[in-house]
Structure 1
Amino acid sequence: MKSINLENNKTFKSILYLAIPSMIAQLVNVLYNIVDRIFIGNMPINGEIALVGVGVCAPILTFLSSFAYLIGFGGAPIFSMSLGENNKENAKKILSNSFVLLFIVSFILLLIIYPFAKPILYLFGASEASIPYAYNYILIYLGGTFFSILTLGLTQFIIAQGKSTIAMLVTLLGCLINVGLDPLFIYVLNMGVSGAALATLVSQFISFVFVLFLLLKVTTIKLSFSKLDKKVVCKILKLGFSPFIIMCTDSIVFICLNTCIKNYGGAQSDFYIEVATIVQAFFSLATGPLLGISSGTQPLLAFNYGAKNIKLIKKSEIQLTIFALCFCTMCFGLSFMLGKPFAQLFISLSSSTGNDKTVEVAARVISIYMYGIIPLAFQYVFVDGLTGLGQAKYSIWLSLNRKLVLLLPLTILLPAITKDAFNVFYAELIADVISSTVSTIVYLIIIPKILKKRELETKSVMD
């Protein structure tokens, strides 16, 4: 497989080369959980309540992934900058430190969450009916925490070396194995939700083995093992804090969403959690690839920032924004055609007569969420662009603005004020539109100053 030349003047070609495999890889990561939920929802016995149980697990799964983003998305941009500066020794040190951090964090998380899984699930919105399914699923899934976190985090360093297609293929392999094992474990071996979790664990293990092989044998900068360097660790955590906040606060929002539905939904609380599970799955099919566009092209920005090639950075950002807008516009249009068919995928034909209502309400909420997807193109591209340029102090606050300042309070306040659990679903739309507007304004003000400063550094070196 070829790797892309990150200082090539054909920036759009570079964007496509990096973004498309990264989009597919993110989509495949999303499909891991969606495939599980589709097979679970179609179980002939108790499929609906089992789907609710797995939906309650979503905050834990997102929380675990956020640490892979903290280290992988924090280390990869400075890794790319080092490559742009032709400092391969420093790049090697960054990769090694990131691996050790991912290794340590994964085991700490497992030790913390495993003993308290059941009370955590109750806290996150599980009912007496859904807790057996949620608990059985999460116990097995946690066994693969080490593999999932390291795979997701280390894949960013394969992409950062211009080998995004290889990274995509590894992720795709894991998903295909998961899809193949799900019906075998769930239906043939009659393992139910435990089978879905086991299928995910096995597929994540195989993906991890391939990622490790690539970093040890194939990539230009190969993985080595060394002690943690305090300065390198601080840089990784500082730059990775923005994507970490995005993912971690997603987990907090999921918790608040489930809790508010439980508090204000009454007898319909399990029904609304089922709807939320379906809607979040659809929304992630748009935001996952969008993240692939914005984060997958960070190596291009980081490399040229390290190489002090300001012209290519400006050109890349314009083309990247247009590409993201086109993708989001396409998703917006497709949502009106595919909302109902998508919701139907999760509903067993042999389950209760409430199927039509579930599909109708889920399709309605999907359309509400997707009204905000076009503005999100600006939010993702600009915030991740700032991260790629090493401007964590801006990207962190813009991420916090969307999730903690806007989305979290709205999720709590809307159902509380109206006394209607359904209104919690408007929080995402309002937060996405406002935060995207704020991020665009801030970006347009600060980015010329950042690039001008870097340009002056280039001239001073030449003088």
Structure 2
Amino acid sequence: MGGLHYLAGAAIGSLIITQLYWVCGFLKMSITGLSAQADRSSGQARADVLVQGAVASILIAFIIILVSPLILDAGLWFVGDQQQTNQSTVDYFEIRIWGAPAALLNLVCIGWLVGQQRTTLVLAIQVVTNIINIVASLIFVYELDFGVQGVAAGTLVAEYSSTGMCLLLVVRVLASQDYFLGMPKLSALVSLANLNANIFVRNLALQFTLAFITLIGVTFGTEAAAINAILMQFFSLIALGLDGIANAVESLVGRAKGEKAFSSLKREVNAGLFWSSIIALVYAMLFWIFGQNILTLLSDNLALHKVFDEYHWVVVTLPLVSHWCFLFDGVYVGLTAGRTMRNTMLASTLFVFLPTFYVVDKFTHHGNMALWIAMLAFLGSRGVLLWGDYLKHVGRHPKTALFG
């Protein structure tokens, strides 16, 4: 498009929007659990969960659009005084933000479909949505010459197309049973709000730790910022694989809770733990053997390759430590135990992540490495706390504790 400020502006605008929607991921997590727990023989029970989530998503989207000027100003404040980049960011953001209703409703529909174990449909939606995004963006940018606004418009078209597909598929899933799409009861919305509030706080705490690594890492210099970006790519690769197991466990554990089938719940958790362990071991072996090769796909900077040797052990250790918290996040989403998820995340952030960073930094004077040691401690702590809570409930009054 003839200027780096277009790329920078689109990247910054997309980052603001993505982080905003990511924090709203509590909608998907809560609806997945509730959908899985809904009575399989009752189309009405499943429809009620969908409507509750849809109403909540539209209300939240309306609030986001209302305060979007403040959100944009906050994002631009971090960028600083870069006129061309700022203008591109504004051009992108002011179009993308109108996709909020579709984006949040998509979270609800996808969470509902995952809870109903219709993951093949979810895959189809994601593939078609991305194809639409690519094609629409190319048309708007190259054929219609809309510039950075065309990039945003292409994504907007894809988001609303995804909403249409989601709603059609949801109706198709419900079609075989009687149901009525009416306004949910106030008590149901209040209950959903309480669950979402706990997961919202949990997501904020998680986002804080990731932002802390990025922002503090920048203060240690360009080399540290670059290696952190690479390590985050490895972490994203791990998350993509382990989230697949977690999503499956969310649905299966939720169904077990809905059916009051305690033995089934234990079986699903044990199976999920087995497969997440296998995937974690595969990741660790691949990163150990092919770590430098993967890095070559991400960067050809020779200096960065030398620095990576120092952090190679972190990359290998990450999946082995993190798979516990990914798996038990899925378990507790299925149980809709938002308070436990919130409390363990806050404890791991405040009493493990931050103290570990400051202590290791003080005694080693290697601030950036301290960040990643703190990250490993944080991930490990989350897994141990959730696992410990689960074992406590399994050993003591499991039916009351897990199904109450």
Specify the TM-score bucket, using the shorter chain as the normaliser: 0.7 to 0.9
Q: What is residue 248 of structure 1 aligned with on the other side?
A: 204
For each residue in 1:393-449, what CA deviation from the matched residue of structure 2 results, as whole angstroms up to 9, or x when unmatched? 323322333345433565677668847456434332221123323332332222333
1:296 and 2:248 correspond: yes
SS at match of 2:38: helix
- Counterpart selection for 2:23 from 50, 61, 66: 66
Q: What is residue 237 of structure 1 aligned with on the other side?
A: 193
Q: Distance in 2 between matches of 1:201 and 1:427?
A: 38
Q: Distance in 1 between matches of 2:14 and 2:361?
A: 22
Q: Distance in 2 between matches of 1:411 and 1:59?
A: 27
1:449 and 2:368 correspond: no
Report the alpha carbon displacement of residue 60 of structure 1 after superposing the two structures with TM.
5.0
- For structure 2, list consecutive stretches of 5 or more residues without a partner in the other structure: none
SS at match of 2:49: helix
Q: What is residue 40 of structure 1 aligned with on the other side?
A: none
- Structure 1 residues 172 and 53: CA distance shift in structure 2, 3 A: closer
Q: What is residue 38 of structure 1 aligned with on the other side?
A: none
Report the alpha carbon displacement of residue 246 of structure 1 after superposing the two structures with TM.
4.3
Q: What is residue 429 of structure 1 aligned with on the other side?
A: 376
Instruction: Kindly indicate whether the alpha-carbon contact (under 8 Å) linking 2:257 and 2:403 is maintained by their aligned counterparts in 1.
Output: no
1:280 and 2:218 correspond: no
Q: Distance in 1 between matches of 2:206 and 2:166?
A: 26
Identity of aligned residues (%): 16
- Counterpart selection for 1:90 from 45, 52, 59: 45
- Structure 1 residues 395 and 222: CA distance shift in structure 2, 3 A: farther
Q: What is residue 319 of structure 1 aligned with on the other side?
A: 271
Instruction: Kindly indicate whether the alpha-carbon contact (under 8 Å) linking 2:321 and 2:380 is maintained by their aligned counterparts in 1.
Output: yes
* 1:390-429 alignment runs, 5 A limit: 390-407=336-353, 418=365, 420-421=367-368, 423-429=370-376
Instruction: Kindly indicate whether the alpha-carbon contact (under 8 Å) linking 1:121 and 1:131 is maintained by their aligned counterparts in 2.
Output: no
Q: What is residue 61 of structure 2 aligned with on the other side?
A: 106
Q: Distance in 2 between matches of 1:216 and 1:366?
A: 48
Instruction: Kindly indicate whether the alpha-carbon contact (under 8 Å) linking 1:76 and 1:160 is maintained by their aligned counterparts in 2.
Output: yes
Report the alpha carbon displacement of residue 293 of structure 1 after superposing the two structures with TM.
1.7
Instruction: Kindly indicate whether the alpha-carbon contact (under 8 Å) linking 2:140 and 2:150 is maintained by their aligned counterparts in 1.
Output: yes
Report the alpha carbon displacement of residue 386 of structure 1 after superposing the two structures with TM.
2.8
Letter in 2 for 1:335: F
Letter in 1 for 2:233: A
Instruction: Kindly indicate whether the alpha-carbon contact (under 8 Å) linking 2:27 and 2:107 is maintained by their aligned counterparts in 1.
Output: no
- Structure 1 residues 452 and 250: CA distance shift in structure 2, 3 A: closer
Q: Distance in 2 between matches of 1:430 and 1:60?
A: 29
Instruction: Kindly indicate whether the alpha-carbon contact (under 8 Å) linking 1:122 and 1:131 is maintained by their aligned counterparts in 2.
Output: no
1:439 and 2:391 correspond: no
- TM-score when normalising by structure 2: 0.81
For each residue in 1:102-130, what CA deviation from the matched residue of structure 2 results, as whole angstroms up to 9, or x when unmatched? 1111121132233441333434xx35569
Q: What is residue 119 of structure 2 aligned with on the other side?
A: 164
- Counterpart selection for 2:261 from 286, 304, 309: 309
Q: Distance in 2 between matches of 1:190 and 1:362?
A: 41
Aligned length: 400
Q: What is residue 385 of structure 1 aligned with on the other side?
A: 331
Instruction: Kindly indicate whether the alpha-carbon contact (under 8 Å) linking 1:60 and 1:251 is maintained by their aligned counterparts in 2.
Output: no
Instruction: Kindly indicate whether the alpha-carbon contact (under 8 Å) linking 1:301 and 1:316 is maintained by their aligned counterparts in 2.
Output: yes
For each residue in 1:223-249, what CA deviation from the matched residue of structure 2 results, as whole angstroms up to 9, or x when unmatched? 864334222123323334554344333
Letter in 2 for 1:383: D
- For structure 1, list consecutive stretches of 5 or more residues without a partner in the other structure: 1-42, 350-354, 458-463
Instruction: Kindly indicate whether the alpha-carbon contact (under 8 Å) linking 1:63 and 1:251 is maintained by their aligned counterparts in 2.
Output: no
- Structure 1 residues 223 and 285: CA distance shift in structure 2, 3 A: farther
Q: What is residue 261 of structure 1 aligned with on the other side?
A: 217
Q: Distance in 2 between matches of 1:140 and 1:277?
A: 28
Instruction: Kindly indicate whether the alpha-carbon contact (under 8 Å) linking 2:26 and 2:203 is maintained by their aligned counterparts in 1.
Output: no
Q: Distance in 1 between matches of 2:309 and 2:131?
A: 27
SS at match of 1:83: coil
- Structure 1 residues 329 and 256: CA distance shift in structure 2, 3 A: same
Letter in 2 for 1:260: I
Q: Distance in 1 between matches of 2:293 and 2:191?
A: 45
Q: What is residue 19 of structure 1 aligned with on the other side?
A: none
Letter in 2 for 1:170: I
SS at match of 1:289: helix
- Structure 1 residues 448 and 391: CA distance shift in structure 2, 3 A: farther
Instruction: Kindly indicate whether the alpha-carbon contact (under 8 Å) linking 1:52 and 1:274 is maintained by their aligned counterparts in 2.
Output: no
Instruction: Kindly indicate whether the alpha-carbon contact (under 8 Å) linking 1:62 and 1:248 is maintained by their aligned counterparts in 2.
Output: no
- TM-score when normalising by structure 1: 0.72
More relative contact order, 1 or 2 (CA 8 Å, 6+ apart): 1
SS at match of 1:297: helix
- Structure 1 residues 323 and 174: CA distance shift in structure 2, 3 A: same
Instruction: Kindly indicate whether the alpha-carbon contact (under 8 Å) linking 1:75 and 1:98 is maintained by their aligned counterparts in 2.
Output: yes
Q: Distance in 1 between matches of 2:355 and 2:67?
A: 27
Q: Distance in 2 between matches of 1:241 and 1:453?
A: 23
Q: Distance in 2 between matches of 1:178 and 1:238?
A: 34
Letter in 2 for 1:384: G
Letter in 2 for 1:226: G
Report the alpha carbon displacement of residue 338 of structure 1 after superposing the two structures with TM.
5.3
- Structure 1 residues 335 and 63: CA distance shift in structure 2, 3 A: farther
Q: What is residue 173 of structure 1 aligned with on the other side?
A: 128
Report the alpha carbon displacement of residue 155 of structure 1 after superposing the two structures with TM.
0.8
> Larger deviation: 126-135 or 233-242?
126-135
Letter in 1 for 2:191: K
- Structure 1 residues 218 and 392: CA distance shift in structure 2, 3 A: closer
* 1:34-53 alignment runs, 5 A limit: 46=4, 50=7
* 1:106-185 alignment runs, 5 A limit: 106-123=61-78, 126-128=79-81, 132=86, 137-180=92-135
Report the alpha carbon displacement of residue 311 of structure 1 after superposing the two structures with TM.
1.8
Q: Distance in 2 between matches of 1:321 and 1:107?
A: 39
Q: Distance in 2 between matches of 1:57 and 1:362?
A: 28
Q: Distance in 1 between matches of 2:172 and 2:159?
A: 20
> Larger deviation: 300-309 or 317-326?
300-309
SS at match of 2:212: helix
Report the alpha carbon displacement of residue 170 of structure 1 after superposing the two structures with TM.
0.6
Q: Distance in 2 between matches of 1:332 and 1:260?
A: 27
Q: Distance in 1 between matches of 2:133 and 2:290?
A: 24
Q: Distance in 1 between matches of 2:178 and 2:361?
A: 51
- Structure 1 residues 146 and 332: CA distance shift in structure 2, 3 A: farther
Letter in 1 for 2:32: A
